[in-house]
Amino acid sequence: MTQTGKRVVQSRTVKPKRRVQPKRPVRVSVLDQAVAALPGGAATARRIVGWTLTAGAGAIALALANWFGLFGAVGVAAAEAVGAAGFRVEQIEVSGLKRMDATSVYAVALDQRSRAMPLVDLDATRQKLLEYGWIADARVSRRLPDTLVVDVVERDPAAVWQNKGQLMLIDEGGVLLDGVEASQMPRLPLVIGDGANAQEPAYKRLMAAAPALKPVVKAAVWVGNRRWDVVFRTGERLVLPEGEDASARALVKFAQLDGTVGLLGKGYERFDLRDPNQLVVKMRRSAQGLTDDGTDDGDAGADITATNMTATNAAD
């Protein structure tokens, strides 16, 4: 008998092929890009964050101290901690100076009870700067982390004031700016006498009434705190009446007479127009320097004969 052979088929489990997932692109945030762009990378970013937090803490401490009207021990300690972290005045930046010595500005800016930025008193510093004649206005601000910025607006000199042997630059409002040596006199109007500096605006208006005379005027003397004498470069003195309007009219009349008949440089010493209807003239004997009251040195007090004439006869 024939035996049929059996084939044994072994089964095996076929595992499905594993799908390979495509790699997702790595997204870089704007913040990460900014950090990477910094010199020093993340380390620099950490320092910046630290500075910002410190500055914020200092600002809060300063605000709280101002809210209560005083710096308590805790507020001062917090502000000093801010200074110790690097927010401390180390540099002074000054702009706007043309004539004033910058050393004075630096000295005021550095005169602080503490150089920690939160404790720098900006308003007090500005008020101290305004005490200087040259400074018309000033702005003081902080530039973190370590710079105090001072922007100055200077006054412009408009005249020289002579009083009691001293020469001072003054501005158009009569504010005293600085001393000046006689050998370094600038080409500015000279006003002489006690209180003449405060009369600088009035003198400016007076000369504006007769601008043709301005180039030949050497000085103006404020007499008795009530009126002007005008001294010319040719040595003559013009005595004007009291009152701004009256003195302006008299100066205009004199300018007209000088333009018509030529009064200056003809040997006269003094013209008196206190009476608007009469010109009183003195002949010159000598002319020296001017004292503080505007009188001549030497024999200025010598007896000089006066010649009276009306303004219409001044040409005779």
**What are φ and ψ of residue 22, in 5° steps?**
-65, 145
Average pLDDT over residues 244-250: 96
Over 50: is that where the pLDDT of 203 sits?
A: yes
- Say how far apart CA 275 and CA 158 lie, in whole Å: 31
At residue 39 the predicted structure's pLDDT band, cuts being 50, 70 and 90, is low
- If asked whether residues 128 and 190 sit together in one domain, one would say no
Over 60: is that where the pLDDT of 253 sits?
A: yes
Please give the pLDDT value at position 74. 45
Q: 308 or 187: which carries more pLDDT confidence?
A: 187
The domain that holds 209 is classified in CATH as 3.40.50.11690
Please give the pLDDT value at position 195. 95
Q: 16 or 148: which carries more pLDDT confidence?
A: 148
119 and 80 in contact (C-beta within 8 Å)?
A: yes
Ranking 53-57, 147-151, 217-221, 252-256 by mean pLDDT, the lowest is: 53-57
Whole-Å CA distances, 177 to 20, 92, 186: 86, 24, 14
Over 70: is that where the pLDDT of 220 sits?
A: yes
- If asked whether residues 130 and 166 sit together in one domain, one would say no
pLDDT digits (tens, 9 = 90+) for 58-110: 555 555 444 434 444 445 555 555 444 446 788 899 999 999 989 999 999 98
Over 90: is that where the pLDDT of 45 sits?
A: no
Please give the pLDDT value at position 149. 93
For the chain, how many residues are written?
Answer: 316
Please give the pLDDT value at position 217. 96
- If asked whether residues 133 and 258 sit together in one domain, one would say no
129 and 150 in contact (C-beta within 8 Å)?
A: yes
Out of 113, 136, 154, a domain closes at 154
At residue 305 the predicted structure's pLDDT band, cuts being 50, 70 and 90, is very low
- If asked whether residues 224 and 143 sit together in one domain, one would say no
- If asked whether residues 109 and 205 sit together in one domain, one would say no
Please give the pLDDT value at position 146. 83
Q: 197: Cβ–Cβ under 8 A, 6 or more apart, which residues? A: 161, 163, 168, 170, 174, 176, 191
Ranking 75-84, 113-122, 128-137, 228-237 by mean pLDDT, the lowest is: 75-84
Report if residue 1 sits inside a domain. Answer: no
Report if residue 127 sits inside a domain. Answer: yes
Out of 106, 121, 154, a domain closes at 154
What is the percent of the chain with per-residue pLDDT over 90, rounded to a whole number? 51
Please give the pLDDT value at position 46. 60
At residue 306 the predicted structure's pLDDT band, cuts being 50, 70 and 90, is very low
- If asked whether residues 186 and 280 sit together in one domain, one would say yes
Average pLDDT over residues 115-128: 87
Out of 135, 154, 173, a domain closes at 154
pLDDT digits (tens, 9 = 90+) for 134-182: 999 999 998 888 889 999 999 999 999 999 999 999 999 999 999 999 9
At residue 43 the predicted structure's pLDDT band, cuts being 50, 70 and 90, is low
Please give the pLDDT value at position 62. 52
Q: DSSP characters for the chain? A: -PPPPPPPPPP-PPPPPPPPPPPPPPP--HHHHHHHHSTTTHHHHHHHHHHHHHHHHHHHHHHHHHHHTS--HHHHHHHHHHHHTT-B--EEEEE--SSS-HHHHHHHHH--S--BGGG--HHHHHHHHTTSTTEEEEEEEEETTTEEEEEEEEPPP-EEEEETTEEEEE-TT--EEEE--GGG--SS-EEESTTTGGGHHHHHHHHHH-GGGGGGEEEEEEETTTEEEEEETTS-EEE--SSHHHHHHHHHHHHHHHHHH--TTSSEEEEE-SSTT-EEEEE-S----B-TTS-BSSSTTS---EEEE-GGGTT-
- In the chain, the number of structural domains is 2
Rg (alpha carbons) of the chain, rounded to whole number = 42
Over 60: is that where the pLDDT of 48 sits?
A: no
Over 60: is that where the pLDDT of 240 sits?
A: yes
- If asked whether residues 141 and 168 sit together in one domain, one would say no
Report if residue 292 sits inside a domain. Answer: yes
Report if residue 191 sits inside a domain. Answer: yes
- Report which of 293, 268, 265 is spatially closest to residue 279, judged by C-alpha positions: 268
Domain housing 296: 159-313
Over 80: is that where the pLDDT of 260 sits?
A: yes
- Say how far apart CA 46 and CA 242 lie, in whole Å: 76
Chain-centroid distance, C-alpha 269: 42
CA dihedral 133, 139, 144, 148 (to 10 degrees): 0
Q: 12 or 203: which carries more pLDDT confidence?
A: 203
196 and 221 in contact (C-beta within 8 Å)?
A: yes
133 and 160 in contact (C-beta within 8 Å)?
A: no
Report if residue 129 sits inside a domain. Answer: yes
Angle at 81 between CA 80 and CA 82, to 5 degrees: 90
